[in-house]
Structure 1
């Protein structure tokens, strides 16, 4: 049995992860973390009347149940501190919170190597999204003209999404360097052409009713190629989260991207 703690259990992704852990034969939910929750046990909440699991208010209190894995779906500022704390205390983090800086990722990775603690930070836990990124990377070898349109719910805080940035990074590794668009192009409204990543454009859409969607659109002479992934329900991410929980306890360092475990 893998003993798991979920941080951010009241958010939409955190709640879905909590239920996944409860329903998984190989996992034991030993605690959840939320500094603002007044209740002390899940069974005091209407959603979990029969579940006897403590609700912790502080990171330090979590250590009393000795979790093997720390699932984190919080916010970037909190996720960095949580992940560092987990690594320092030999708990393997599985982090779906996006928005961490490159410096933070590098620092966390280096520390995990020093302490030989496995972990996973993934911008997207949907297996289809990982395949979409890999297909886009392959296509970028032949179609250097490409734009990314990512669409998410209106409560998402970071833009572009971690998935869009990761996709652009992967394509940049193989794509011929090219500044897209007309050299005399002029934005009549600032930002109309989107964010620029190594000459590629990224556009972020935020609307209620959306979950997580990304379209990678390539253009060539006389043809086009569109690679798109849609998550219609947050349950689409749980296969990847479960896989992460199973694998990280056997790793000796933090890895970035679910593709490293497939």
Structure 2
């Protein structure tokens, strides 16, 4: 039996990519979309005709999805999750910039309503591998910094991927990373997360890019991933949809949990 999927943020760039990917997947059924800018009715997006509404409750009631994929705004995620949970619909959330309080509430919802919720800072499989390689390198190298580059319309900085990478890197160590002992408080040095400076770049022409640079005596190690198209996120999104549909009562943070890392 196919998994029925609705898309929150259906008119956005990521939402349209998800619609296309779901429509092309033989084991998934595209059931509808929701977007704050939408006019209720049927709409053709990328050649796929779906029911579209600005009201999530209406969308869920008319389309009856098993899973809703959310690529909207961080400020909208709490209400989206509460509404979906009450309807018994599981969620895959790619929206970044979620606070620890919101993440904690999402985990509560999985138990309260017996739904599955998957949150991932990055759905590109290569990016997940990059994060895992950085975690491994952190066991052996004491100096590290992160440079992340995204398009100019990205709402949050640093990126959720960069913060999650820094957290994984520090968790792999028994001691903090090294930093210049006489360093002044220069803003150009980047903001530290888990002891790792993160430098954020926002420019037109970029999609999503991250480089983790390690330094040691007489050597450096760079681990970089580049998403040159939003299509790069779709295999991970589809994997998450298929898995979360089977995992009611579970909260999963990070695609790495599904890849066996």
SS in 2 for 1:192: helix
CA RMSD of aligned residues (A): 1.5
Distance in 1, Cα, partners of 2:195 & 2:4: 45
Q: How does 1:1-262 map to 2 (within 5 A)?
A: 1-38=2-39, 40-43=41-44, 47-48=46-47, 51-62=48-59, 63-178=61-176, 180-187=178-185, 190-251=186-247, 252-262=249-259
Q: Deviations over 1:19-68 (max 9, x none)?
A: 1111111111111101222352113x6x43xx432111211102222100
Runs (4 or more) in structure 1 with deviation over 4 Å come to none
Q: Partners of 2:215 and 2:174 in 1: how far apart?
A: 14
Work out whether residues 144 and 177 of structure 2, in 8 Å CA contact, stay in contact via their aligned partners in 1. Answer: no
Superposed CA deviations along residues 108-130 of structure 1, whole A, max 9, x for unmatched, are 11221232211211110001111
Q: TM-score, normalised by structure 1?
A: 0.93
- Runs (5+) with no aligned partner, structure 1: none
**CA drift at 1:92:** 0.9
Q: Which stretch has the larger CA shift, 79-88 or 9-18?
A: 79-88
Which runs of no fewer than 5 residues in structure 2 stay unpaired?
Answer: none
Look up the SS of the partner of 1:53 in the other structure: strand
Report if the CA contact (8 A) 1:70-1:93 is conserved. yes
Distance 2:211 2:49 in 1: 42
| TM-score (norm. length: structure 2) | 0.94
Aligned residues: 256
CA distance in 2, matches of 1:249, 1:103: 24
Shift of the alpha carbon at 1:198? 2.7
**Alpha-carbon distance between aligned partners in 1 of 2:217 and 2:199, rounded to the nearest angstrom:** 23
Aligned partners of 1:87 and 1:29: how far apart in 2? Answer: 19
Is contact 2:40–2:53 with CA below 8 Å preserved after alignment?
no
Q: Is the 8 A contact 1:92 1:249 kept in 2?
A: yes
SS of match in other structure, 1:54: strand
SS of 2:189's equivalent in the other structure is coil
User: In 1, distance between residues paired with 2:108 and 2:38?
Assistant: 33
